[in-house]
Amino acid sequence: MADKLEVQQGTLALMILKTLEVLGPLHGYGVARRIEETSKGRLTLNYGTLYPALVKLEQEGCIKAEWRQSENNRRAKYYTLTAIGRKQLAHETRDWHRTADLIAAFLAPRREGEAP
């Protein structure tokens, strides 16, 4: 699967927070499916990676969890973004935009005679 990408370190929390901001409360499976859908299938989440990230975000106060009935009448833990999570999302979004701008500057072709 050469066209599948690895989730870059530090990006999973951002993707989870953004997913919950856009869609509201979701269970872990729903979060994973949405991230995979948004990536147009280029990412496949390993649940051994997703669930520890959800637990960490919950421990940090960025999300809260509660047990509810899922669409298929099973108990599922639903995650919701908190006020702390909204602030964290805004902070991480700014950081990623700055990082992307920095990398873009390095990848942009230089013109002949242009100073490095």
pLDDT value, residue 1: 45
> Per-10-residue mean pLDDT for the chain, 116 residues long?
68 96 96 94 86 96 95 93 98 94 90 65
CATH architecture label of 11-107: Orthogonal Bundle (1.10)
Domain boundaries, the chain: 11-107
pLDDT value, residue 68: 93
pLDDT value, residue 113: 63
pLDDT value, residue 114: 66
Q: Give me the amino acid identity at 50.
A: L
SS3 assignment for 68-116 = EECCCCCEEEEEEECHHHHHHHHHHHHHHHHHHHHHHHHHCCCCCCCCC
